[in-house]
Amino acid sequence: MPKIVFLPHQDLCPDGAVVEAETGESILDAALRSGIEIEHACEKSCACTTCHCVVREGFDSLVESTEDEDDMLDKAWGLEPESRLGCQARVADEDLVVEIPRYTINHAREH
Ligand code: FES
């Protein structure tokens, strides 16, 4: 089973975490199952950016993002070339290293 290494995030997983993922499972679902409460304001329907993740390793193993995902990602706080929406990016058979951005767009508005 592929593993996802979540890098430390000050609120969601201060020490980081290693999660066993199922092939075909979304990064978001794997995180939630392991108690890493990444936001998912639109309930995983590709209509917000709160589940934004940056895939630091293994990005190329993921099925490419759709146009809808790319359109949403354009609005994400802290967009990077290896950004994905956690609810849309499905784990393939390679291990991943994932960084959860410090802010979501909801936080960015508040600050
Ligand atoms: S939860 Fe809204 S796009 Fe992923």
For position 52, which CATH number holds? 3.10.20.30
Mean pLDDT of 25-35: 97
Q: Whose CA is nearest to atom 3 of ligand 1?
A: 46
For β-strands 96-99 and 3-6, DSSP reports them as parallel
The boundaries of the domain holding residue 101 are 3-110
Give which of 47, 56, 46, 48 is closest to 26, Cα–Cα: 46
| Ligand 1 atom at shortest distance from the alpha carbon of 85 | 4
What's the structural domain count of the chain?
1
Give the N- to C-terminal CA distance of the chain in Å, as an integer. 39
Kindly report the pTM of this predicted structure.
0.94
Question: Order of strands across the sheet with 96-99?
Answer: 17-20, 3-6, 96-99, 52-57, 83-85
76-104 pLDDT, tens per residue?
999 999 999 999 999 999 999 999 998 88
Distance 38 CA to ligand 1 centre (A): 10
Pocket test for ligand 1, best of 26, 27, 32, 48 (most atoms within 8 A of CB): 48
